[in-house]
Every structure is written in structure tokens, then in C-alpha cells.
Amino acid sequence: MKIKYYLLAGIFCCTLHSCVVLSPKKYKNLLAERDSLSTRTTSLEAQVSALQADTTHLHRQLADLQNSYNTLNTNYNKLNDNYSNTSSKVSELSSDLQKREARLKEVEDALKKRDAASAALRDKLQKALLGFQNSGLTVDIRDGKVYVSLADKLLFPSGSIVIDQHGKDALVQLAAVLNKEPDINIAVEGHTDIKKVNNLGQIKDNWDLSVLRATSVTRFLTESQGVDPHRLTATGKSQYQPVDPGTTPDALAKNRRIEIVLTPKLDEIYNLIKQ
């Protein structure tokens, strides 16, 4: 038994000799290092999880930003196309506006020339017909046209369509001016008052009287004074364009008249407007 005991003790001693014997201090240090490593490992794992979550979130944000960028880029391209189209239209409109303004200026210049010609013609007629202005003759401008108004008493006996000598003298002076102004169109208008025509033979009513008086003046100007008939028109207005709506003798006298309307030819203006 003793031999066995000694043998076991020897083996145990040998075993103890073959192992590293740790001191309590080192053992505690090793435990502390193990705990520290475990804590750091847990912290690192938490950081890795957080980084993975952040990475996923950033990927989502990046995808959203990419989609927003694509949308903005598409909208930008559309706006750029719209801008190009709008810019082109603005250029076209600007060019068209400049052309219209240039044409408008040409028309305005032509109208100014017409008005100047009308004013000059009025002055010539007033000077030529000065001796008749106390006999019911007036010359004025309305809407760019020159109106020579002759009272019926200056031209015709009462109820007649035959021009008397005093009226012929006035028309001779008028024709002398018109023959020097070949670019003037001439309209001869007959006007009456509201009184009905009675017992005048071929003249049935105020329409007949106004028309026949206008044609009498037209014939005298063309056949006797050589005014180009292509420049003239003759119309009857009857009682329907009075200068005075009253019914007094003076108002009725004003309405019985021949108006010779002189218009500078507007071919230049018409051509400009058609362009």
C-alpha cells in the first residue's frame, strides 16, 4: 500500500511539474481580459448591426435621390424643350410684330398724306368758291373726305332738277379745281327735306328728286366741264340723311342740298392693308 501511495504521489508531482502553475493575480488578469474581450466583441457586433442598418437606410436614400434626380432631369428636359419652343415662338412673334409695326407706320404715313391732301384740296376749293359761300355753299372735312355742300337754292329753282345759271357758275369753279386734281374720287349726293313732292310730273317722290338732281350735277360736270366720268358716282339719299333733324323752315332748307364728296384715292392704303 505504501508503495502504491508513493507511486501515485510521484505521478501527481510529475503532473504538477509538467503544467504551468498560474498565480491568483495572473488568473484574475486573464479573467479580466476575457471579460473585456467579450464586452468589446458585443460592442463591435452592435456597431456592425448599426452600420448595416445605416447602410440599408443610405441605400434607400440613395435610391430615392436617384429617382428624384431622374424626375427632375426629365422635368428639366421638358422645360428646356418648352423654353426652346417658346423662345422660337417669341422670335417669330417679335419678327411678325416688327413687320406689323412697320406696315402700321406705312398706313399711318399714307393716312397723313391723305389728310394733308384733303386739307390742301379744301383750301383750294374754299378759295375758288369764296364768292358762293354766302349763297349756301360750305366746304369742310369729315373723316378724311372733303365735303362741298351746295344748298338747293344755289343750284335749282324750287322743285326743279334743272341747274340755274348761278348754280352753273359755282359748278364751273368747282370743276376747274377738280380737273387739276385727277387723283380725287367724286361722289355727288342728292338730299331732300321731309316734305312730300306734289305735282312734279316725272318726279314721283323725294327719292326721284334727290337722284335726278344728283345726276343733273354729274352730267354738267362731265358733259359741260370735262370732268372724267370714271371718277364720279351719283346717288340719291332722299330725306334720310338730314343735317338738321328739326322741322323749322331753316332746318328744312339745310337738308335740301347737293353734297359733293371728294375722296383722295386710297389705293396705296388698301394695298398696305392687304399685305
Alpha carbons 153 and 163: distance in angstroms, whole number: 10
3 state SS for 90-145: HHHHHHHHHHHHHHHHHHHHHHHHHHHHHHHHHHHHHHHCHHHHHHCEEEEEECCE
Q: Is 136 left (phi over 0), alpha (psi -120 to 50) or beta?
A: left
Q: What tens digit of pLDDT does each residue of 240-272 get? A: 999 999 999 999 999 999 999 999 876 555 555
> What pLDDT, on the 0 to 100 scale, is given for residue 16?
47
* Assigned domain for 100 exists: no
Q: Give residue 257's domain range.
A: 113-274
* Assigned domain for 182 exists: yes
Residue type (1 letter), 92: E
Helices (H), the chain: 2-18, 24-128, 152-155, 165-178, 206-219, 249-255, 267-274
Q: What tens digit of pLDDT does each residue of 96-134 get? A: 888 888 878 877 887 788 888 888 889 989 998 888 888
* Assigned domain for 10 exists: no
* Assigned domain for 159 exists: yes
Q: What tens digit of pLDDT does each residue of 46-78 get? A: 888 888 888 888 888 888 888 889 888 888 888
* Assigned domain for 201 exists: yes
* Assigned domain for 32 exists: no
141 — pLDDT class (breaks 50, 70, 90):
very high
Residue 140 forms beta bridges with which residues? 147
* The most confident of 15-24, 158-167, 186-195, by mean pLDDT: 186-195
* Phi, psi dihedral angles at 13 (to 5 degrees): -65, -40
* Assigned domain for 165 exists: yes
Check pLDDT > 60 for residue 13: no
**CATH classification of the domain holding 182:** 3.30.1330.60
- Domain total in the chain: 1
Above pLDDT 90, what percent of the chain? 40
* Assigned domain for 54 exists: no
